[in-house]
Each structure stands twice: as structure tokens, then as C-alpha cells.
Structure 1
């Protein structure tokens, strides 16, 4: 199985270094031009990939979790908040038009000296518009757009994590079910051994030592059953919480040993990593920091605003209405602000650098997680195969020891040792099978949503 070895472009983006000629400062970490092209908001989390395990219940559980998980609901609400902030930033670039209807009241004096009251109404429309000559508002708008996209990446990260957690939790639940079944089967075998030991002791064929040993072994196995039942109940409650439900029973599908192991094709395309939502989130966070830096630098330059107003004056003191209007403009340029604007630009530069290093770390982490999980898939399979061979050998040893004990050729301690060894091997094998399946789940998450037949066909070609 070959490793995923591409996505060099991502690392090249993350490690790109060079000066940027925009004043007032340069930095060692510079946003590459390719950041202007977004990777995509990640692959949609679907339940189709989970059918590869062959269990009919698992896809439905994941669908329920994606529909009712409270953490995902909060992530979706944060996306809506980010989109509202984007609309607000876009609205700041539009002209602002307002209307007012001020009223006045005063005294007038007629030619004959008779005072009278004059009422006036002035409907007035006002408009203002920032020309944004140097792109301060445009850069701020793009920054909020990138922040909204980053929030979508965070939402998809939560969705991907929830799907993986449900799959891992369900596999763990089936492993606990199998451990409980093994404990009950072993308890039944211990009960039969205790019955035989009691009968042999009552007839005087053996001493009470074997009876006490059999009874102690039965009690030791008996306590495994309630412990396994408690673990099953807790795992069911954890899965119910992931699906946004009250604690309750979870439907079951196939037993753990009948799960189908997905086939990992050799040489998966590294472009699969480009679908990782956390990598997309880090990229858009970097884009937002870069645009915020553009806006902070544009704030150092002059700004031009246009204002205008128009209205009609209606008054009882006037024979006819009077129309009024005004048009003006203003140029504002910072002369002395104590270094505030430059300090804001420097802070924006530092935040951009932090986002660049975070993006590079996200890319490196993606490579590491894929490599770790590919190795986990391979090694856990080898471990499960070795444990299966050990279990078969110990099962044969137990049969031989039981036959020899019943025939009187060996002591009870030989059978007891064989029983203990087989129980340990069976429980360890169950955990190894669960670990192997969970390794595939983690590989699915590391690749940003698994792989499809089209991806495999692309590798084949």
C-alpha cells in the first residue's frame, strides 16, 4: 500500500516566502497568489461510504446524528451569523439614504402688529456615499466573505467528526456486545465445570481444592457480565447523545465479526486531502487575515465621501413651498493619530502571519494523520490475524485439557489455565477487530470523507 505523497502544492502554498511591496511593512510570511483560488468547502458528508462495512444500521444512525446533533446545530448557527456579518459588510459599501420630517413652530408679526403663529414642516432626504478610492471597504467585504467560508469549513469539520464519532461509537458498542456474549458463554462453561467439580468432590473422586478453584473461577467470570452490561448501557447513552436523543436503546445490525472490511486501493490520490474541511477552514482564515491587512493598510490613505440632501419647506408663513438641496464632498486624511493606524496595520500583519503558519501546520497534520491511519489499517489487520490464530490454538488446547481432565490424565489446573488463556485471547481479539474497523473510520476522517469508486478509477487509469 503506497502512501499518499502528493498535495505538494498545499505545502508550497503554506511555505511560500517573499516580500510584499505594500506599505507600511513587509513580513517573512507572504500570502501566495493561489490563495485567491479557494479549494472548495469540503466533500459533503454522505452515508454512502459507510455501506462499505456491510452493516444495515450504521448509515441510518449517522443520518440521525447529522440531523439532530446539537453541536452541529450550533455550528450551523455560527455559519448564519458569519453570513449576516458578510451581508452587513456588503451593505456598508452601498449609499446610505435617510429621510426626516422635522417640524418648527414660531411667531410672526403682521404689518399691523398682530402676532400670529407659523408652523413649518421640512421633509428632507439625505444621502451619503463613501467612494472607497483605495479599496478599504472592498477588502473588508472580502475578509468577511472569507470568514463566512471559514465558518462553513468549521461546520463541515463538525459534521465529519460527528459521522466518525457515531461510526466509532457503534463499532465500540458491537464490540461490547460481543464481549458480553463471550462473558455469558464463558460463565455457562464455568457453571458446567463447577457442576462437574462438585459432583467429583461429593463422590470423593477429587479433593475440595478443585471444587474451590472451580467456584472461584466461576465467581471471577460472573462479575464480568454486569461490568459488560454497564459498559453497553453507557455506550448506548453516548450514541443517543450524539444523535440528539434522550438515553435509550440503540438498534443493532451485524455482529462485529461479520463486518466487511473496506478495501483501501493502492495509491489514493492526494487531492482527496484538498476536501478536508479543516484545511479549507485554515485556508479561508488566512484569506480573511490577508484581506483584513489590506483594509488596515488602505485606512492609512485618504478617504473621499459624497453627501447630499434635498427637501421641501412647507410653512404657514410662506405663500408657496420652497425647495432646498445641497451637495458636497469631503476628503479625510490622517495627519497625526499617535501611530494608531500603523499599529493596527502591524497587528493585522502579525495575525496574517499566524494564520499562514496555522495553515501550514494544518497541511502537515493532514499528511501525518493519513500516514498514521494507513499504517493503523495495515498493522491492526496483522494483529487481528495473529490473535485469531492464537485463539484457535488456545481453543484446541482447552479441548485437549478438558478431555484429559475428564479421563483423569491431567489435573484441573491444566484445564483452568487453558480456560483463562482462551478467555483473554477472545476478549483481546474482539478489541483488535474493533480497532481495525476504527482505523478505517479514522482514515475516512483523515481523507476528508473517504474515497469513492471514481477516485479508485482515477488511480487505476
Structure 2
């Protein structure tokens, strides 16, 4: 009889895989981002930040982001969900190995006289065994495919966690910038209200002296009322912004933080790279690919169900009437019980299961391609926003400067009696509107940079342990 070699034993234990060879679907997006008037800024030469801390330069925002990552409930649930899938993978992986158990049993039984035909008898039996129970030989890779599927599902869930973390960073940054912008608009409205009230008092004095008409006074009053409404509006918005920020952060935020005007340098310009880089940067694309690989592994399990399954039960031990004699010579016992299960008739359920697995893979391919298309559009939109917002912001700055000159000249002519209050009130209104527009445009430009940061996949410095784990255990 030929001896069983270690290689043959390994083949029996690990079996073969019936899963299709995985091939990454071709990318449905273009190789380059679009070009044209909206993209005149060209690619950024800034070095790629290691993580989000290299993007957000506001120290207050950094502290809020750290707090949010530690306290946010949605992120905590995503982390717990990842750990749950990790535990499921460990459970499924354990099915690849035999389960060894030890068993000790003692029996003491009394038989009455009617059954023995004489005196009552007390019988004693002791036994101890060690063995394996119903260990399935994975000859056709069913258990291996299920283990791969569980691993890939866990990795997909971990990418969903990274996506939730990136979404939280983006939401906190957006809420913080909006709060700062509304604070700035509130301060501007209050400052403008003081100037409008001063102009109203001057108009009222001139009305009493008869140098201005009632129409001039009504117009000045209307201007004050309009600015008061703006103060109330931005007071409300700033309070609501703070409430949203505190919910996202998961802790109280000091509403009396020193006012910090929005500035372009608060957020670094993140380089876009190439569309192919998104396959490794974006958590949603990586999640979709892991789900696709999991569906591919599930096909292997569905195919293996057509073939026989072999399970083994075996144990060895000893048995005796007295505990002291349990391990004496001649008390040994053993059991070897192989079992073969061959599917003969199942009313087409195995074929339907295989068809379902293939359809699930096709769905995951479509979902993967859609995630790439969505990512490409979001990055292209972000690049267009980057260039055009810079142009819009510069034009708005020029408008504020021109409105300020118009306001100063109109005020001087009004106070010297050259022009009526109508021109001065129009200049005040134009300046206030231009200043509001500048703050709003600067906020939009910063939010566009945050959205582009998110579209590009956020932080890219992956933990070395996870990267090694993926490369070491993923199906080839």
C-alpha cells in the first residue's frame, strides 16, 4: 500500500476551488479628467497629504474633527458593524479545521431482582475519549469559498466604515465652515445695522429741519428694518449651525470661540491625480469591488454543492467498569465513522442557487461600474468648481472694492448736500449685498474644496496591518 504523502494530505484537507478566476472589470470612465474653460487651473502640484490633518489647517476644526471621530454615534455603529462581520469571518474560517473535543463519562446503574433473576445488581461504567466530530473534507472548495466570501464581506464592511468616517469628516468640516460664515454674516449685518441707524438719525434730524422730505425718512427707515431682519435671520442660522455641529461632533462646542473669518488657506488644495487612482482611494469603490469578489467566491460554493461531501467522525479512548482501571491495558477503544452525502434529486434548487449566485455577481459588476462613474463625475465637478469659484471669488472681491468706493463717494456727496439720500441708501445697499456675496462665495469655494477632498477619497495613509492582511489573504 502506498504511503500518504504530506502534499496529498494537504490536497485532501484544502481541496480545490470551483470559484471563477476573478478579473477586475475594465473601468467605464475616461483615462483623463475633462479639460476646457472650467478646468483652466490645471493639475495641482501640491504634494499628496498623508491624511485629513494635512488638508484642514484650522486648529479649531482639527480639534472638532478629532472629537467627532471619537464620539460620533453613527461612526461608532459602523465600527461595531465591522467588528461583527469580522467575528462572522472567524466563525466561517473555523469550519476549515477539525474540531477536537475530549469527553469523559461515568455511569452507575442499579438493576432490580426481577430483571436479574436474583439479587439486585449495581453496574458501573467509566469512559474517556478524544476525537473529532463531523469534520467535512473540503474536497471541492465549498468551505474555502464560504470563508473567502466571509472575509471579503468583512473587508467590504470595513471600507463602508472608512466611507462613514470620510463622510463624517466632510460633514463636520462643512458644518463648521457654514457656522463660521453665518457668524461672519451676522457680524456684518450688525455692523451694517449700526451704520443704517446712524444714517436714519441723521435723516430724522434733517427731516425736522425741513431739508429732507418724508420720502427720504421712510426710505432710511425701510433700510434699517431690512437690515434688522438680516440680523435676526443670521442669528437664527448661526444657532442652528451650532446645533448641527454639536450633533455631528457628539459633544458641546463653545459658541464663544474667537471669530475667525473664512480664508482660502484654511483648506489645502488636494491634487486630483488620475481617474485610475480612484480605484484605490475611494472607499465606496473598494467596498463595491470587495462585494464583487465576495459574489465571485459565492459562485464557487454554489458549484461545490453539486458534488459529494465527505465528513469524518473519529475518536479514541478507553472504557472500564472502575475508574481506577480506566487507563489500564486492554481498556482501549476507538471509532471511525466516515459519511458520504451525494445529492441525487433536489427539484432544481442547486441549479437555481447557482443561477442566483451568478446574477448576484452581475449585479455587483454593475454596482462597481456605477461607483466608478459616480466618482469620476464628482471629481470632475469638483475640479470645475475649484477653477470657477476662484474666478468668481476674485470678481466678487473686485465688486466689493468698487462698491466700497461707490459708498464712500455717495456718503461724502450726501453729507455735503450735493446728492439726495436716495443715492447714498443705494450705495449702502450695494455695499452690504456685495459683502454678503463675498462671504457666501468664499464659503462655497471652501465647501467645494471639502467636497473635492471627499470625492478623491479623503485620507490615503492606510494602516500597514490592514494593507498586509488584504494582500496576504485575498483570493488570487
With the shorter chain as reference, the TM-score category is: 0.7 to 0.9
Structure 1, residues 126-146: CA drift from partner, whole Å, max 9, x if none?
413211100000010011010
CA gap 1:433/1:156 in 2 versus in 1, 3 angstroms: same
> Among residues 118, 135, 138, which one is paired with 2:141 in the alignment?
135
In structure 1, the partner of 2:195 is: 189
In structure 2, the partner of 1:27 is: none
In structure 2, the partner of 1:152 is: 158
In structure 2, the partner of 1:123 is: 128
1:88 maps to 2:94: no
> Among residues 278, 292, 296, which one is paired with 2:298 in the alignment?
292
Residues 128 and 319, structure 2, Cα contact 8 Å, conserved in 1: yes
In structure 1, the partner of 2:65 is: 62
Q: Distance in 1 between matches of 2:219 and 2:229?
A: 16
Q: Distance in 1 between matches of 2:460 and 2:406?
A: 43
Residues 90 and 141, structure 1, Cα contact 8 Å, conserved in 2: yes
Distance apart, 1:108 and its partner CA: 7.8
After TM superposition, list the pairs within 5 Å mapping 1:227-376 onto structure 2.
227-246=233-252, 249=255, 251-252=257-258, 254-257=260-263, 259-260=265-266, 262-263=268-269, 268-273=273-278, 274-315=280-321, 322-376=331-385
Q: Distance in 1 between matches of 2:126 and 2:291?
A: 52
What TM-score comes out, normalization by structure 1 length? Answer: 0.83
CA gap 1:268/1:252 in 2 versus in 1, 3 angstroms: farther
Unaligned residue ranges in structure 2 (runs of 5+): 1-17, 26-48, 462-476
Residues 295 and 361, structure 2, Cα contact 8 Å, conserved in 1: yes
In structure 1, the partner of 2:23 is: 33
Distance apart, 1:259 and its partner CA: 4.1
User: Secondary structure of 1:366's partner?
Assistant: helix
> Among residues 418, 434, 438, which one is paired with 2:427 in the alignment?
418
Q: Distance in 2 between matches of 1:316 and 1:402?
A: 114
Unaligned residue ranges in structure 1 (runs of 5+): 1-21, 24-29, 36-42, 453-461
> Among residues 190, 203, 214, which one is paired with 1:208 in the alignment?
214
Q: Distance in 1 between matches of 2:179 and 2:93?
A: 49
Residues 108 and 118, structure 1, Cα contact 8 Å, conserved in 2: no
Distance apart, 1:264 and its partner CA: 5.3
Q: Distance in 1 between matches of 2:386 and 2:128?
A: 75
Distance apart, 1:149 and its partner CA: 0.6
Structure 1, residues 368-389: CA drift from partner, whole Å, max 9, x if none?
1110100011111111111121
User: Secondary structure of 1:285's partner?
Assistant: helix
1:430 maps to 2:439: yes
Distance apart, 1:212 and its partner CA: 2.2
User: Secondary structure of 2:118's partner?
Assistant: coil
Residues 140 and 291, structure 1, Cα contact 8 Å, conserved in 2: yes
Distance apart, 1:34 and its partner CA: 4.6
Q: Distance in 2 between matches of 1:310 and 1:450?
A: 56
In structure 2, the partner of 1:385 is: 394
CA RMSD of aligned residues (A): 2.8
Alignment length (residue pairs): 415
Structure 1, residues 155-192: CA drift from partner, whole Å, max 9, x if none?
11011111111111111111111101110111011011
In structure 2, the partner of 1:444 is: 453
After TM superposition, list the pairs within 5 Å mapping 1:164-183 onto structure 2.
164-183=170-189
Distance apart, 1:73 and its partner CA: 0.8
Distance apart, 1:261 and its partner CA: 5.9
Q: Distance in 1 between matches of 2:323 and 2:449?
A: 87
What TM-score comes out, normalization by structure 2 length? Answer: 0.80
Residues 44 and 449, structure 1, Cα contact 8 Å, conserved in 2: no
Q: Distance in 2 between matches of 1:250 and 1:277?
A: 36
1:101 maps to 2:101: no
CA gap 1:206/1:111 in 2 versus in 1, 3 angstroms: closer
Residues 31 and 356, structure 1, Cα contact 8 Å, conserved in 2: no
CA gap 1:359/1:252 in 2 versus in 1, 3 angstroms: farther
Distance apart, 1:425 and its partner CA: 1.7
Q: Distance in 1 between matches of 2:378 and 2:121?
A: 87
CA gap 1:31/1:177 in 2 versus in 1, 3 angstroms: farther
